[in-house]
Chains A and B, each alone.
Chain A
Amino acid sequence: MTNEPDAANAGWFSDLDPEDLDAAEAEILRGSAEEPEDWPRIAVESGYADSEEEYYDRLHEATIHATRQEVRERERADDQQLIHAVRAMDDCERVANELAERAAEWAGSRFDDAELGIAGAREIAAREPDGDLERRVVSLSARAVDLADERDELSATVDRVAPAVAPNLADMAGPELAARLIALAGGLEPLAKKPSGTVQVLGAEDALFAHLSGRAPSPKHGIIYTHEFVRGTRPEDRGSAARALAGKLALAARADHYSGEYREVLHEDLRERMATIRARAASEEVNANE
C-alpha cells in the first residue's frame, strides 16, 4: 500500500490477491472511499497489476463477478423472508412493550422514580440491584430493552429487503408499509392479484366484516391510512386519497411481481393525483375565505 493516498481512501484492490475473486467481490460490494483516485495507476504502482490493461481486465472480471452475485442475492431476498421479518418486528415490539410495562409496574413498587415504557426499562436495566427481587426486576427490564433493540434491527432489515423484493411498492409506500401490505396479502403474488378496492381496506378486516354483516359503514381505508397521502389529507378528501393511493399501490405490486423493474411513471401519476386532490382542498379554502 506504499502508494496509497491514505488507508481511509484505498482502492478496491488494495491488499487483494488478484486470484481471489471472492475477496474482490466483497471489496467491490462493500468497500467505499470518500474521493476517487487514479486507481489504474495506483494499482500498477502498488504491484496489483503489471499494466493498466491488465488492471482493467481484472476490474472487468471482478465487477462482473461481484455484480452477478449481488443481483442473485438481492433477487433471492423473497417476499416470504420479508413477511417473517416484519412479523417478527411487530412481535418484538409488542412483547418489548408488555415486558417493559410489567417491569415498570414492578419497579414502581421497589424504586420510587421508575419511569414507564422502553426508556424507563432502559434506565432500570442500568441499575445496580439490591437483593434477589430487585435483581429480577432489573433483569426483566434488560430483556425488554434487548427486544426493543432487536425490533430496531429488524426494522433496518425490512428497510433493506423491501426495496429488493418490491422496488415500486417500497418506493411508493415506504419499506415498512410495503412489507405490511405484502404480509397482509400473504405474499407479493397474492397482493398483485388483488383488486385495488381490496388493497384499500387490507388490515381493516374487522371493520369490513362488521360492514358486510350490516353493522357498520364500509371502511374507507385499512393499513394504508398510515401513509402520508391519506393521513395528511383533510378528512373529507381521505376517501378519494385512499382510493387513488390504493389504485397505484395495486399497480405497483403488479409491476413488482410481473416485471420487477422500477416504473417511474407510476410514481408520477400518483404524485399528480395527490396534487390534484390537495389543490382542490386549497382552492375551496380560498373560496371559503372570500
Chain B
Amino acid sequence: MSDPDLPVGVERRSFDGETRLATRGPPVYGEPTDGEWRAWGPERSKLGGMLELGFDAGLSGGETVLYLGAAAGTTVSHVADFAGPTYAVEFAPRPTRDLLDVAESRDRLFPLLKDARKPETYAHVVERDLDAIVQDVATRGQAAVATRNARFLADDGRLLLAVKARSEDVTADPDDVFADVLAELRGTYEVLETERLDRFHEDHLGVVATPK
C-alpha cells in the first residue's frame, strides 16, 4: 500500500471506504483512525494538500525538519510521525498550549514559542543543514520569513511553502501577490515547483524550493 511518491511512513489508506493519506501516531484532533494509522486530511493541512496534489516534496521519511507556524499542531503532528527530529515554531501562546500536548506524545517533536521573523532567537536551538522547512504562517511578509530562515537549510534541502494571498494583500489579485512573493523568494531560493492549492485551500499557492 505504500506509494513510491510519498515519504516512507505516509500511506494512502481507506477510512470508511474513502482513500486518504495517513500517518502512524497518537491521534491529535479527532481525525479518523484505523489501528495505529490516522487520516491526514488535505483540507485541514496545506502540506497534506500539497502531497495529495502530487507535489514532488523531496521527502522520503526520517528528515530533520523545521516547521514554521505550527499552530495547535495539526500538520506538524503528521510531519513528526514520518520525519525525524522536528522543530515546531509558533508565536501565539494559546495554540502553543495544544501543541505542547502533541509534542508530549512525540519524542522527536520540539515545540518553540518563537517569532519566525526572528530566527536568531532560536538558532541556538534549531540545528543547521536541515532537510526541510515547512512554512505555513499566513501573515504578511511570507517571503521574508522564508528568506530569513534559509540559513537552517542544507544546500540540497527543501522549502515546502504555502503562501496565502490574502495575508499579503486582500485587495490584490492573488496571481499578482504570488508573482511578487516568488520574485522575492528567488533572491535566496531556486523555485522548483508551484501550483495553486485551491482544490483544498482557496487562494493559496504551494511552493517547493531549494537554496540557491
Contacts and interface: CB of A to CB of B under 8 A. Distances in A.
Interface size band for B: 35 or more
A182 to B, nearest CB: 17
A210 interface: no
Contact of A33 (B95, B99, B124, B169): B124
Interface stretch (A57-65, A87-95, A143-151): A57-65
B151 interface: yes
A67 interface: yes
B127 A71 contact: no
A36 B149 CA distance: 10
A167 B92 contact: yes
Contact of B124 (A32, A67, A68, A275): A32
B128 A35 contact: yes
Contacts of B138: 264
Of B94, B99, B103, most buried by chain A (CB within 10 Å of CB) is B94
A259 B93 CA distance: 11
Contacts of A152: none
Nearest to A273: B170
Contacts of B126: 36, 39
Interface stretch (B8-16, B31-39, B53-61, B104-112): B104-112
Given A36-B152, A63-B112, A71-B93, A275 B171 contact: yes
B174 to A, nearest CB: 12
A34 interface: yes
A272 interface: yes
Contact of B123 (A36, A57, A59, A67): A36
Contacts of B166: 264-265, 268
Interface of A: 9-12, 27-29, 31-40, 56-57, 59-60, 63-64, 67-68, 70-71, 74-75, 164, 167, 259-262, 264-265, 268-269, 271-272, 275
14 contacts: A12-B125, A34-B120, A35-B128, A36-B151, A39-B124, A39-B125, A39-B127, A60-B109, A64-B103, A67-B99, A67-B100, A259-B94, A260-B92, A260-B94
Interface of B: 85, 92-97, 99-100, 103-104, 107-113, 120-121, 123-129, 138-139, 151-152, 164, 166-167, 169-171
